[in-house]
Amino acid sequence: MPQAENAAAELTMTRLLDAPRELVWQAWTDPEHVQNWWGPHPCTNSDCVIELRVGGAFRLDMHAADGATYPCRGTIREVVAPRRLVIEGDALCPHPCGAGLPPNAIVTLTLDAHGDKTRLTLHTRFPSAAAQRGADDAGFVVGWEATLDRLGDYL
């Protein structure tokens, strides 16, 4: 049965990372680390701010090779260190992908320890199927796959 146009849509990605959970948590919550791996190659990042508290800001500017800048803006909705981080994408973001945090989407990071490795689960709940299609058309899935590869290399 087709999904209703205004119904929420969801996407889940997982990775097993060769790093302990506490290190992966730091890589996600320390602006100095995030700037080094966020976005696909050859993107670079600047102006990263992470206020690690409910209601705090998560933001950075992602710079593409063609000179375009893509703002990544969100509000932290939940923090359960070192296991869970929930961020809501800024509703005013003009880009449907939001440089990883699509407008009005809820992005949930879950980190589960597996010995000296970490199972990362990235779950995105879009406000609608149309919003998910827009994000996908703008490179959301491809971008996150490349970004998670980059995170694994960084760790």
For the cut 90, the answer to whether the pLDDT of residue 3 exceeds it is no
pLDDT at res. 77: 98
CA trace torsion 63, 10, 56, 82 (10° rounding): -100
pLDDT at 6: 55
β-strand 9-17 against 117-126: which pairing, if any? antiparallel
- Compute the mean pLDDT over every residue in the chain, rounded to the nearest whole number: 95
CA-derived radius of gyration, the chain: 15
What are the extents of the domains in the chain? 9-154
Contact 121, 112 (CB under 8 A): yes
H and E: helices and strands count for the chain: 4, 7
Percent of the chain with pLDDT over 70: 95
- pLDDT (0 to 100) of residue 16: 98
At 2, the pLDDT band (50, 70, 90 cuts) reads very low
- pLDDT at position 32, please? 97
Give tens-digit pLDDT for 20-57: 999 999 999 999 999 999 999 999 999 999 999 999 99
- pLDDT at residue 85 greater than cutoff 70: yes
* pLDDT computed for residue 5 by the predictor: 52
Q: Is the pLDDT of residue 150 over 60?
A: yes
Q: Are the CB atoms for 107 and 101 separated by under 8 Å?
A: yes
Write down the pLDDT at residue 106. Answer: 98
User: Looking at the domain 9-154, which fold is it?
Assistant: Alpha-D-Glucose-1,6-Bisphosphate; Chain A, domain 4 (3.30.530)
Question: What six digits make up the tokens of 60?
Answer: 């950075």
Q: What is the pTM of this model?
A: 0.93
**Rounded-to-integer distance, Cα 132 and Cα 143, Å:** 14
Res 7: pLDDT: 60
